[in-house]
Amino acid sequence: MIRLDQKYLSNINVKETNEILVSLSTFASENNVPIITKEGIRFLNQIISISKSKRILEIGTAIGYSSINMALNNNVEIVTIERNEEMYSIANENIKIAGLDSKIKIIHIDALEVDELKLGKFDLIFIDAAKAQSIKFFEKFKSLLNSKGIIVTDNLLFHGLVYGEVKERNLKQLVRKIDTFNKFIVTQEDFDTHIYAIGDGMSLSVKRKWLYENSSYTI
């Protein structure tokens, strides 16, 4: 259910006009491919801009909507990982069509199997893959962050199901894992984390040591 404030803001905020992004969004809607919400990608792009992030790791490419959007709106280099062969092929083609193959490197592999030490360091990590594996993704890749590093995670409200009643068994297990991840990230001592009711629920985790040493830094 869309809240009235969300509907109001959706109507008043500037609409996406880039033909490539509109086309990708339409494709995702027509083919039931989950992508980041419009509010979510605006939030993410603002974080990138404010933090001056230049190198980004994305876990979960899907059709390439998020990485293409970030690359079109920011001066960044992106490494994105996708395990699904069909999604990888579609995303790879979309990145080429957008003329961004020099800014976006897509890797076809399960993110939990990649040798993270070969990826280098990143200013920002965006986790938007298998929701049941979010803790593993967070633990595996957090060491790749630079000293001012940020981790953003999507779908933490999971369509409101994390605080609603779920009867279907498999879905209930998934929702429970998302809830476990939410409680996990806000208690990580090396990160200062807040979960925002933006889009489908997004978290912003900033390295705590650097944040406290630079108390004037705000997002």
> 40-59, pLDDT tens digit by residue?
999 999 999 999 999 999 99
Confidence of residue 166 (pLDDT cuts 50, 70, 90): confident
Give pLDDT, residue 210.
55
CA-to-CA distance for 49 and 70, rounded, in angstroms?
Answer: 10
Give pLDDT, residue 159.
83
pLDDT at 124 over 90: yes
CB 42: neighbour CB atoms within 10 A? Answer: 18
Q: What is the residue-averaged pLDDT of the chain?
A: 90
Question: Residues 51, 12: contact at Cβ < 8 Å?
Answer: no
Question: Residues 102, 75: contact at Cβ < 8 Å?
Answer: no
Confidence of residue 1 (pLDDT cuts 50, 70, 90): very low
Give pLDDT, residue 211.
53
Q: Which structural domains are found in the chain, ordered by start?
A: 36-213 (3.40.50.150)
> Mind listing the pLDDT tens digit for each residue in 128-138?
999 999 999 99
pLDDT at 2 over 80: no
| pLDDT > 70 fraction of the chain, expressed in percent and rounded | 89
pLDDT at 104 over 80: yes
Whole-model pTM?
0.89
Question: Residues 147, 210: contact at Cβ < 8 Å?
Answer: yes
CA-to-CA distance for 77 and 74, rounded, in angstroms?
Answer: 9
